[in-house]
């Protein structure tokens, strides 16, 4: 059986990893999963059900029943949904419930691209290509602020920056699958890069990883 070529794209919020993953998927003809949407969906659906996202049992129950069609909800792209995602992601039960979902997606024939915070360390540690995409908190906050403004949300830049810093601390400090670069991931700092530059750098990283993978088969 041919091993799938999996590309793991990890990194903090608004680092550019989603854009990088989407471009890689399009250029290589691979399906792409934004795993952050899974956690956003769990957070949003838990709150909509009248439950507390900080309650591990409630959030885990929602995660266990999550279906792919629930990821198309535009309400998952809001600032509030991002905050809820970070809150439910600390629960070990939620992460365990979503593990099979992510690994099944990754195991598709030909491979896949997954972006998140623990793809290269927990979900697909065997991925042949691993990137850790990052940028300074200030640059990431500016990107997210502009994105939210474009979506019609009114929010102060300082509040977005505070959110980014808080999410970094929560995601990096949780006991279960903390956000961190895999030892064999290639660091891609997009602070000074345009979208095109970041996408091109990511493509070259993946091409090098694929060449090594092809030789090892």
Specify the long-range contacts of residues 136-140, CB closer than 8 Å, at least 24 apart. Answer: 136/191, 137/161, 137/164, 137/165, 137/168, 139/190, 139/191, 140/12, 140/13, 140/14, 140/15, 140/164
pLDDT in tens, 88-102: 999 999 999 999 999
Position 31 scores a pLDDT of 96
Cβ atoms within 10 A of the Cβ of 26, count?
Answer: 12
**In percent, how much of the chain has pLDDT > 90?**
89
CA pair distance 26, 10, nearest whole angstrom: 18
* Assigned CATH for 5-216: 3.40.50.300
- Global pTM reads 0.91
The neighbouring-strand residues paired with 32 are 113
Q: Find out whether 164 and 141 touch, Cβ atoms under 8 Å.
A: yes
Identify the residue whose tokens are 């929010």: 155
Position 102 scores a pLDDT of 96
pLDDT in tens, 177-216: 899 999 999 999 999 999 999 999 999 999 999 999 999 8
Q: Crossing angle, helix 35-48 and helix 79-88, to 10 degrees?
A: 90
Position 177 scores a pLDDT of 87
Residue 68, helix vs strand vs coil? helix
**Is it the case that residue 217 has pLDDT exceeding 90?**
no
**In percent, how much of the chain has pLDDT > 70?**
99
Position 25 scores a pLDDT of 97
**Is it the case that residue 176 has pLDDT exceeding 90?**
no
Q: Find out whether 18 and 34 touch, Cβ atoms under 8 Å.
A: yes
**Is it the case that residue 156 has pLDDT exceeding 80?**
yes
């Amino acid at each position: 059986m041919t091993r799938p070529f999996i590309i793991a794209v990890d990194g903090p919020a608004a680092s550019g990893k989603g854009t990088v993953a989407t471009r890689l998927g399009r250029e290589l003809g691979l399906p792409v999963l934004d795993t952050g949407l899974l956690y956003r969906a769990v957070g949003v659906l838990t709150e909509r059900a009248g439950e507390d996202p900080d309650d591990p049992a409630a959030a885990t129950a929602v995660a266990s029943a999550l279906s792919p069609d629930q990821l198309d909800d535009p309400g998952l792209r809001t600032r509030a949904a991002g905050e809820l995602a970070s809150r439910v992601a600390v629960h070990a039960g939620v992460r365990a419930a979503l593990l099979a979902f992510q690994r099944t997606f990754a195991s598709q024939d030909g491979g896949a691209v997954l972006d998140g915070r623990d793809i290269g360390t927990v979900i697909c540690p065997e991925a042949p290509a691993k990137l850790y995409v990052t940028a300074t908190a200030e640059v990431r906050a500016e990107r997210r602020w502009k994105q939210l403004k474009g979506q019609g949300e009114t929010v102060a830049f300082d509040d977005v920056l505070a959110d980014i810093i808080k999410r970094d601390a929560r995601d990096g400090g949780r006991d279960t699958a903390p956000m961190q670069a895999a030892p064999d991931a290639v660091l891609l700092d997009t602070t000074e890069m345009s979208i095109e530059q970041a996408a091109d750098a990511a493509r070259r990283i993946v091409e090098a990883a694929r060449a090594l993978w092809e030789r090892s088969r």
